[in-house]
Structure 1
């Protein structure tokens, strides 16, 4: 396994796309100061996941993007791709070549990673390279002054270096990640237990509410059934009442028809009687009847007038002390009595004629 190629575009001093091809063995890059030799090493460390700007000899992460030059504007992004030969199969992936790509944008300052062109996470790249001794925190890149740092390091620091060289680092990282996940899980369990206690505390009132809801549902259904029964019963009563009303209406119509028929019969009978009377020669019978009825009405009026005057006389006799007034009232009473006597005389004179009329009516009725 070896580095096969390195492509830089917009990274530090490499504004244009630059590709370096490597062969198995040792590759030496030489040149004067300021030509970008150290930038190549920074590019390898950056594409492998370096996160500290100081590691890349900068103040902030977007300093790795080409900042511009006289006659050349600054770029908005930087991209580095590192291709590793995997013919030996040391990397746990089914590809003969593995290309790791990292891109950073100036406006957001965020980095994107890709593995053989497919987007991925930095953690995926670290897991892939952990068994090979290659990574951003492993000592495959030794910069200026780092040898002296190793020689003057404390025993704990040297132990860390030896563990990294012995490929123990990946297991430590895995253990740390497992411990963090375990702590997170324990925290989740604590919150879950709190939730369980809270739910259990609320369970009793919720059960009561559920029972009340079930009872309410049953009562609503029972009420609906009762309402349906009452509606059916009321409808039945209304139908029976409607039938009775229809029967009564039929009876009333039959009675009305009978009455109308009786009235027509009576009208016919009256006409027949009038014709019969005319045929018998009693043409003046109607005039006699009118006179008799007029006398009767006159006698009733005179009696009513007499009674009213008698009541007035009594009131005036009580209230008035004048003798002349009393005599006038008595004279009026005598005149009224005399007029009443005349009416009675006329009525007596008409009596025989009335008898004749009644006998004529009876004879007509007998002939019918």
Structure 2
């Protein structure tokens, strides 16, 4: 595995698109002071995920974007650009990177508005994805493969504990340390959630007594209400039966009265007929007895 190309556009002094081809072995960048040699190193650190503006010799991260040049008698000058973009292509023919491709290109873009984007082989990615991708290779942004001015003296004068940290990080221990820290943060979050859950469980248990009593009272009330409804139904059924019996008795009495009335009316008609007959006989007798 080796770095193949480094492409810069709008990054610091590289206003125009520039591609550096890095052959296997030693690659040297030479030039006078102020020509941008350090900007190449900054671009390497930046595309691999460097987040500190000071490490890139700037006051803010937007300082990596080409700020423009003033016009001179011999040059018309150039306006500032709106974004900076750096792409690093790595030869992955040996499969050193955990990525199914013979070449892996990491791209980082910074906009003057403050937004930042990462991409791996053209696919949008996160900083965490880039860090995970490079963690097994020893070339990540925190792997001490980029030694800037003044850092060599710090390494030479480091304490044994600091040197041990440098060696561990160069050996790829940083990835496992980061994973450990991430796992510990998750454990802390889970522990906080467990404490909260324990508090909620204790609060629920504290409320269970009154709630249980209320539930028991509600069950008893439901039983009493059911018994009351059943008693009312029985009473209503009894009242209906009594009313039905009374109605039937009244209907029977009414039928008997109707029959008695019909009988009396027949007797009355017979009596009237007998009276009419007697009156007719009386008139006939009176007519015969008259002189």
Q: TM-score range by the shorter chain?
A: 0.7 to 0.9
User: Out of 140, 156, 167, which is 1:135 matched to?
Assistant: 140
User: Out of 73, 80, 89, which is 1:83 matched to?
Assistant: 89
CA displacement 1:203-256 (0-9 Å, x = unmatched)? 333333333344344444444444444444444444434434443444454455
RMSD across aligned positions (CA)? 3.7
The higher-RCO structure (CA 8 Å, 6+ apart) is 2
**Aligned-pair CA distance for 1:106:** 4.2
TM-score by length of structure 1 reads 0.60
Alpha-carbon distance in structure 2 between the residues aligned to 1:106 and 1:252: 112
List runs of 5+ in structure 2 lacking aligned partners: 70-76
Alpha-carbon distance in structure 1 between the residues aligned to 2:152 and 2:269: 145
**Aligned-pair CA distance for 1:60:** 1.9
Matched residue SS, 1:131: coil
Alpha-carbon distance in structure 1 between the residues aligned to 2:265 and 2:12: 124
User: Out of 202, 208, 215, which is 2:207 matched to?
Assistant: 202
CA displacement 1:126-150 (0-9 Å, x = unmatched)? 2332222121212111223322332
Alpha-carbon distance in structure 2 between the residues aligned to 1:273 and 1:35: 162
What does residue 162 of structure 2 align with? 157
Task: Give the number of aligned pairs.
Answer: 280
TM-score by length of structure 2 reads 0.73
**Aligned-pair CA distance for 1:46:** 1.8
Q: How does 1:235-254 map to 2 (within 5 A)?
A: 235-254=240-259
Check conservation: 2:48, 2:141, Cα contact below 8 A. Answer: yes
Alpha-carbon distance in structure 1 between the residues aligned to 2:28 and 2:218: 83
Alpha-carbon distance in structure 1 between the residues aligned to 2:62 and 2:201: 48
What does residue 61 of structure 2 align with? 61
Alpha-carbon distance in structure 2 between the residues aligned to 1:29 and 1:97: 24
Q: How does 1:317-336 map to 2 (within 5 A)?
A: none
Describe the shift of the 1:102–1:203 C-alpha distance in structure 2 as closer, same or farther (beyond 3 A): farther
What does residue 170 of structure 1 align with? 175
List runs of 5+ in structure 1 lacking aligned partners: 283-368
More helix by share: 1
